[in-house]
Chain A
Amino acid sequence: MPFDRRPGERLTRFVFDSGQLRATAPRIKHSAFMPPTSGKLSIFWTSDLGDEAVWGICTTHVAPLRGKPVLARGDFNSLVVYAQDLRVDVDGIPDPRHANVVGWDMSSTRTRLQALKLAEAAACILPG
């Protein structure tokens, strides 16, 4: 199934650290969207997937790597990524739905602003 076959795809970032969650809102903080030094922010392309399937991806591929339970996920639209001059690279590893947000200028202070914008746009969804 080709990515970006329509204007805007749903993307998902899983959150495991309580410090990245604002419990009162609930919202996901910008630090969850700050890229690592590799410049690849790990996400999943979750368009057309039901809630159970999205959490299933986390259970199968992400939670085992983290070694702790998922606390929330942030769903956001790929158009928000493009508006920040970033790109989505679907690499399909370890799951066909895996992707990275790339194109960050790691030497620029704009990176933090871009992370703020992604956090602003993300809907925080708690596990059922």
Chain B
Amino acid sequence: MTTLAIAGPYAARAGSLRVQRPGVSDAANLLRGVIARAIDDFSTSAIGQARISEPAAALQELFAGCNAPNWDGEGAEPITVATLSAAHELLHALPAEIPIPEFLPEPVGRIAFEWYKSKHCIYVLSIGSDHSLEFAGLFGRGNEVHGKFNFSDVLPGIVLDHLRELLAR
């Protein structure tokens, strides 16, 4: 059976679908077309604009401002195309129940996704060009976490637990 994985920029059109095991049958091609049209329709809908196109544009804007060495005037590493691509994939992996975060460039050349509730309640996911996913969070006084995963298309369960915990506060 053909397996499709949505990858690449969030404002994806049919051409940016990555086919993990390309199907050769008419049914596989039909399925690919249906999914591509569904993504296209969604990304141009009102919800899709908020959920897909606008965050993707924000990531592109971040990249444009931080893709040269020393973009912060203090020796920051550039945000690379590989890091941007990984950030788009991470954006794809966020379930619909999770609000779209703010995107921040980090001086070590990574892109951070930040969810903020208060100065004591904040969660940051940071992705690098190698798909390493680092997290750090404050959940009120005395409750803090940090750690690291390798990201491969699916958000680790512990990260989802952290985000749900933050949103529940």
Is A120 within 8 A of B108, CB to CB?
Answer: no
Per-position binary interface string of chain B over residues 110-141, scored 1 when its CB falls under 8 Å from any chain A CB and 0 otherwise: 00101010011010101000000011111000
Per-position binary interface string of chain A over residues 15-28, scored 1 when its CB falls under 8 Å from any chain B CB and 0 otherwise: 01101101001010
Say whether A67 faces chain B, with CB atoms less than 8 Å apart. yes
**Residues of chain B whose beta carbon lies under 8 Å from any beta carbon of chain A:** 62, 72-77, 104-108, 112, 114, 116, 119-120, 122, 124, 126, 134-138, 144-148
Rounded to whole angstroms, the CA-CA distance of A106 and B108 in the bound complex is: 9
Say whether A6 faces chain B, with CB atoms less than 8 Å apart. no
Q: How far is the CB of B134 from chain A (nearest CB, A)?
A: 5
Is B116 within 8 A of A22, CB to CB?
Answer: yes
What are the 7 tightest A-B residue pairs by CB atom distance, in nearest-first order?
A112-B136, A113-B136, A113-B146, A31-B104, A66-B73, A109-B146, A36-B107
How many chain A residues touch the partner (CB < 8 A)?
29
Say whether A42 faces chain B, with CB atoms less than 8 Å apart. yes
Is B105 within 8 A of A31, CB to CB?
Answer: yes
Interface of B is mostly: strand
Q: How far is the CB of B114 from chain A (nearest CB, A)?
A: 7
Q: For A36, what are the chain B residues with a Cβ–Cβ distance below 8 Å?
A: 72, 74-76, 107-108
Q: For A61, what are the chain B residues with a Cβ–Cβ distance below 8 Å?
A: none
Is A37 within 8 A of B75, CB to CB?
Answer: yes
Knowing A25-B119, A29-B114, A37-B107 are in contact, say whether A112-B77 is a contact too (CB < 8 A). no
Is A34 within 8 A of B106, CB to CB?
Answer: yes
Which of B74, B76, B134, B138 is within 8 Å of A116, CB to CB?
B138
Knowing A29-B114, A37-B107 are in contact, say whether A112-B134 is a contact too (CB < 8 A). yes
Chain B: CB-nearest residue to A35: B107
Q: List 30 A-B contacts (CB under 8 A).
A: A16-B73, A17-B72, A30-B104, A30-B112, A30-B114, A31-B104, A31-B105, A31-B106, A31-B112, A36-B72, A36-B74, A36-B75, A36-B107, A37-B75, A37-B77, A37-B107, A37-B108, A38-B75, A67-B73, A106-B108, A109-B146, A110-B136, A110-B146, A112-B134, A113-B145, A116-B137, A116-B138, A117-B138, A120-B120, A120-B122
Q: For B119, what are the chain A residues with a Cβ–Cβ distance below 8 Å?
A: 25, 27, 119-120
Chain B: CB-nearest residue to A106: B108
Knowing A37-B77, A109-B135 are in contact, say whether A19-B105 is a contact too (CB < 8 A). yes
Which of B72, B74, B126 is within 8 Å of A112, CB to CB?
B126
Chain A: CB-nearest residue to B109: A37
Say whether A65 faces chain B, with CB atoms less than 8 Å apart. yes
Which of B105, B112, B120, B134 is within 8 Å of A109, CB to CB?
B134
Q: For A22, what are the chain B residues with a Cβ–Cβ distance below 8 Å?
A: 116
Rounded to whole angstroms, the CA-CA distance of A119 and B73 in the bound complex is: 20
